[in-house]
Structure 1
Amino acid sequence: MKSVKRHELSREEVWHFDDLYANDEAFLKALAESEEKATEIASYEGRLGSSPELLLKALKEKEALALLSSHFLAYSMMKSDVDTKDQEALSLNQKAMAVEVRNGEKLAFFDPEILSLSSEYLDKAFSDCKELERYSVYIKDVRRLKEHTLDKNAEKLLASAQSMASGPYQAFSMLQNADLQFPSVEMNGEEIPVSNARFVPLQTGNNRPLRKAVYEAFYKVYQDHRNTFAALFDAQLKQQYFFAKARNYPTAFAASVGEVDVSEKVWDHLISAVHKKISAFHDYVALRKEMLGLEDLSMYDVYAPMVKDYEYHIDFEEAKEVILKGLKPLGEDYQELLKKAYSEYWIDAKENDGKRVGAYCNPVFGVHPFILMSYQGTMDDLFTLAHELGHAMHSYYSEKEQGFLNSQYKLFVAEVASTTNEVLLLYYLMEQAKNKEEKLYLYNHFLESFKGTFFRQTMLSEFERKAASMLEAGEAITADSLEKVYHDLNSYYFGPDMKIDDLISVEWSRIPHFYYNFYVYQYATSLAVSCAIAKRILAKEKGALEQYKKFLSSGCTNDPVSLLQLAGVDLSTEKPMVDAISMFHSIVQEMRDLYHKA
């Protein structure tokens, strides 16, 4: 099957970049304008405390620059992501990032100077100039990080280092998306192409010899580049640790959670809950082995449907309608926003040659969210679309109620709306199941989704933290050392019924999220939160929907744990994680009972 070139797709199948800029010339003009604005703001250095009115003016101009930057960074990144082989788009992206670094250097004085202002002065400034209240959240957050903010010269140096800090991910992305070449697999006289985008769909088929062949061909390519990937990850860990130490944090993870205003105890609660109840996941693996009828369950059987004779395919237009129905409990306003996303080309769903692997939603304030994916018609794709639409709706609600700065919710809560969409959609589909086979299939999907979002992401997070701890303790980061950690974690998580081979030990090398600064565990905590929210909404618990909408509309106006408490969930305890695992285990037991039922 020949890959489609980007230019072969119609305007109705792709993003409309002119929603952002009419053309590349307009984009380049915005870059130049941003540098002029940054120079103007730099002229305020040493004067922020001269009057409340000048402070307000400087904050307004800084916000305007941040908005402009978000637009040109989005434009250039997305143009490159839809075709990573497009050298012109790559050049635009590099120009945008270079300008962003230069602008950051010019504005490096800003936060240290805010911190130099006394509490008494700021209190009086807010009293004398009521319009400053618009920036109270921003100033509060700056002051919260006082002990981790350096003087203006040091901040300028760190800002200038950002372009180097992004190097490991940029190199990883180009290697994975543009340079790796995968062989085709021959099966029954047919040449089947293997790629990053096709790997998981090919692993979900019922043809076990094909799954094995694809698995081996795919991971052999990563294995052949294991040392390069290890060197890139080593560089990523080092740059994270460098910035953490520079900002007076003991570890890179402490810096990561500190920046988003979350306690390390949340991660501790997650790991504690999973370790206490890991037998629930082992029961799932045992059920998988039984339903697949295998003596040896292998890692290329992980994605295979446990319901062998049930085929599911859904085209893109039908998927959009099913999502509308599944998310009906979220209210009419939510329905209208989904329709808006469909009709205004928020979604770039067609696969094309060179398109970035995976899916994401990039909310662009004042324009609309942009969703990227490569839709193949599987149930996973259906749920991926619902997931990314959740991100879009979260951003839309927050932007509607908050200004630009206050709408930028912390990464810690970024996965809540997306996974809530998934849970609600799943319950809808299970209610619509017409027979035993369809219900078993949906049970299978639920367990697979939970496995991938909760148990797998927790395992990846443990790997990420172990690797960071190794580096911070002065241990060597090599392909061998990383593969040993990854192998041992797979053995612990999957338990005695899974045969752990050598190839799975290199899987860590293909995970882009390891370059996102300890992001992955938030998928797991978010799923636990989403299970609780969805349960409240479906039970029509008084105030549940209104509380959830309040959370969606709150942006970054409080710390993440407090915002989630608005939605009725408390992550200061293990309970949400324990409850979510218990729900998973109950579905395992229900599926086993239904499977054995005549």
Structure 2
Amino acid sequence: MAESVKKRSEIEEQDTWKLEDMIESLEKFEELMDGVEERIQEYEAYRGKLGNSAEYLKNYLTYDESVDETLSLLYAYAMQRRDQDTSVSENQALVSRVQSLAVKAMAASSFADPEILSIPDEKMAEFLASPELAHYKKQLERLLAKKAHRLSEKEEAILAAASEISGTPSSVFALFNNADLKFEPVKDENGELVDVTHARYGKLIESRDRSVREAAFHSLYASYRQFANTVAANYEGNVKQGNFYARMRKYPSARAMYLAGNEIPEKVYDNLIESVHNALPLMHRYMKFRKSYMNVSELHMYDLYMPLTEDYEKTYTYKEAQELILKALKPLGEEYLNLLRTGFENRWIDVYENEGKRSGAYSNSAYGVHPYVLMSFDGTLNSVLTLAHEMGHSIHSWYSNANQSYTYAGYRIFVAEVASTCNEILLLNYMINEAKDRKEKFYLVNQLAERFRTTLFRQALFAEFEWETYKLSWNGTPLTKDLLCGLYHELNSEYYGKETVIDSDIDHEWERIPHFYMQFYVYQYATGFSAAMAIARRILAGDTETKDGYFRFLKGGCSRTPVELLKLVGLDMEEPEVVNEAVKVFKDLLDEMEELA
């Protein structure tokens, strides 16, 4: 009989996040919704007057910001209620209602940016020099930098209204992937049927029993294969809407538009792909080593996640995971550790899997409220690392929110993965140093090498796939199932090399990647990993300048560009050296594994 997943009501309260800290009740949620609905009407009073004076413009920006802050809080609450159990239609409706309200606000405020941009340059220069607008100067300068890409007031209103439609592919994917898609049960190591879920797949694919890995792999991708045409059409819709907005705003590509939104030069993206391509011989060497160590005649894609050390099995309770993380992150100081303890003890975290719970893990933060973490802890080392990773996001958010106003608290996506990955690296380094024997050390060194494979190389593969599909669609090529699967197969062949059998099931992996619906996001895992590797190594070496710079970085929000923020820690992301430095560490790990084997 298949092992069942608990219902939400069966999870202990202390293992669920405390959403009441965000919004105390559904009644309060409705009150806030009504308040925003009323406040949206006030936008019209500002129309045509933003150039009257610096003080008037400041009043508008303060008002607009307050509406946005409440909408962000409402969306965070609705999204988290939905994600804790996606089968509850009432929670799905909450998200839809907030999105619709946000679209109303966007439409009502759509006059503002074109109106601000129409203020004569000389007058705007006076505004920017005035004390009234000192707080908003950086925000206004960022808007002025996009002047060439802004449209007329009428056109902006149309695009704002269309944004509700443009989010459909992402919404469709989320419901399909988390609520509707089902997988065939498989037999575990004991011959008993177990359900295959998104959360359990990670554990099954690491099984020492190859038949379990293969069965889970096939179960997962057989389901995606059935819907490949549908998912391809949905993904193409997502790509097309991205390209549509880029064309409307006169960008040379969707990538240029999305990277500009985060103030990232495109050469950062190109440097990453080039550096990773140059390092592919190391990936091929790793695959050859894995194949030899596993003593298999063929290395399949379902063999890549099994820990290499035979008979090394270790699981962790949730409490043990917390204690381990606290020990590993001691180099960051007592203040950081106290924030972690606060999160662990005060229900910031939704810990375990339940029926209908969104797959994967994330940290979410609404301004003025402590951050939250969603995950599905299953006792594996990967779960411990996930907890450290997501709490890295949360503490980064806490520092940014505590040290910046709402205007500048929300850090850019480009730097979002630095703090989280730094935590992971510190944890693995601690565990390697504390290893009790050669076998345990080899296992942990292999785990860190796997972080390179899955975060630097695999995310670069995703980034290359995404960029290629956007270019194809931009030039009028239909993104059919066969094209997408073929492209994905070719990239896997190139990245994993001739030592690896590129099973046809893996051709459908692109169908299950949620971040493809967050345009040009995935490359930042790879760049963030590279930056985090440099920061962690320097902090562990006792570099106080890097440590001090790291906390300035955590507190910086978006008060500077991402590139400027990382320069506080001594890293220049516009040069290839940061990624190349990470690649050298990967080589050292391969050398160490070969020596320990």
Shorter chain as denominator, the TM-score bin is over 0.9
| Partner Cα separation in structure 1 for residue 589 and residue 127 of structure 2 | 57
Aligned with residue 488 of structure 1, among 484, 487, 490 = 490
- Partner-residue secondary structure (3-state), 1:414: helix
CA RMSD of aligned residues (A): 1.1
What does residue 145 of structure 1 align with?
146
Q: How much has 1:131 moved relative to structure 2? A: 4.0
Indicate whether 1:45 and 2:44 are aligned: no
Task: Give the letter aligned to residue 60 of structure 1.
Answer: T
Contact 1:137 1:406 in 2 (8 A): no
What does residue 509 of structure 1 align with?
511
- Deviations for 1:33-62, whole angstroms, at most 9, x for unmatched residues? 112222213310110111222111111111
| Partner Cα separation in structure 2 for residue 442 and residue 576 of structure 1 | 24
| Partner Cα separation in structure 2 for residue 573 and residue 189 of structure 1 | 52
Contact 1:491 1:500 in 2 (8 A): yes
Q: Tell me the percent identity.
A: 39
Aligned with residue 212 of structure 1, among 190, 214, 236 = 214
What does residue 438 of structure 2 align with?
436
Aligned with residue 475 of structure 2, among 470, 473, 476 = 473
- Deviations for 1:461-520, whole angstroms, at most 9, x for unmatched residues? 111111111111111111100000000000000011100111110111010010000100
Task: Give the letter aligned to residue 320 of structure 1.
Answer: Q
- Deviations for 1:556-587, whole angstroms, at most 9, x for unmatched residues? 11211111111111111111111101101110
What does residue 395 of structure 1 align with?
397
After superposition, the Cα gap between the structure-2 partners of 1:189 and 1:555, relative to the gap in structure 1 and judged at 3 Å, is closer
Aligned with residue 16 of structure 1, among 18, 21, 24 = 18
| Partner Cα separation in structure 2 for residue 283 and residue 34 of structure 1 | 57
Pairing 1:322-361 to 2, within 5 Å after superposition: 322-361=324-363
- Partner-residue secondary structure (3-state), 1:415: helix
Contact 2:185 2:196 in 1 (8 A): yes
What does residue 160 of structure 2 align with?
159
| Partner Cα separation in structure 2 for residue 533 and residue 295 of structure 1 | 40
Aligned with residue 64 of structure 2, among 45, 52, 62 = 62
Contact 1:471 1:477 in 2 (8 A): yes
- Partner-residue secondary structure (3-state), 1:85: coil
| Partner Cα separation in structure 2 for residue 575 and residue 482 of structure 1 | 32
| Partner Cα separation in structure 2 for residue 42 and residue 352 of structure 1 | 45
- Deviations for 1:435-479, whole angstroms, at most 9, x for unmatched residues? 001101101110111211110000011111111111111111111
Q: How much has 1:405 moved relative to structure 2? A: 1.5
Contact 1:266 1:571 in 2 (8 A): yes
Pairing 1:102-181 to 2, within 5 Å after superposition: 102-128=104-130, 130-181=131-182
Task: Give the letter aligned to residue 344 of structure 1.
Answer: N
The ranges of structure 1 where at least 4 consecutive aligned residues each deviate by more than 4 angstroms after the TM superposition are: none
Contact 1:359 1:373 in 2 (8 A): yes
| Partner Cα separation in structure 1 for residue 489 and residue 322 of structure 2 | 39
Aligned with residue 567 of structure 2, among 554, 565, 573 = 565
TM-score (norm. length: structure 2): 0.98
- Deviations for 1:2-24, whole angstroms, at most 9, x for unmatched residues? 11111222321111111122211
- Partner-residue secondary structure (3-state), 1:303: coil
- Partner-residue secondary structure (3-state), 2:314: coil
Q: How much has 1:398 moved relative to structure 2? A: 1.1
- Deviations for 1:151-193, whole angstroms, at most 9, x for unmatched residues? 2111111111111111001111111111111111135541121
What does residue 286 of structure 2 align with?
284
Contact 1:105 1:156 in 2 (8 A): yes
| Partner Cα separation in structure 1 for residue 578 and residue 64 of structure 2 | 39
Aligned with residue 7 of structure 2, among 2, 5, 12 = 5
What does residue 182 of structure 1 align with?
183
| Partner Cα separation in structure 2 for residue 254 and residue 296 of structure 1 | 41
Contact 1:205 1:304 in 2 (8 A): yes
Task: Give the letter aligned to residue 480 of structure 2.
Answer: T
| Partner Cα separation in structure 1 for residue 98 and residue 458 of structure 2 | 35
| Partner Cα separation in structure 2 for residue 542 and residue 298 of structure 1 | 45
Q: How much has 1:118 moved relative to structure 2? A: 2.9
Q: Which runs of 5+ in 2 are unaligned?
A: none
| Partner Cα separation in structure 2 for residue 127 and residue 301 of structure 1 | 61
Contact 2:54 2:132 in 1 (8 A): no
Indicate whether 1:423 and 2:425 are aligned: yes
Task: Give the letter aligned to residue 369 of structure 1.
Answer: P
Task: Give the letter aligned to residue 158 of structure 1.
Answer: L
- Deviations for 1:397-451, whole angstroms, at most 9, x for unmatched residues? 1111110110111111111111111111111111111100110110111011121
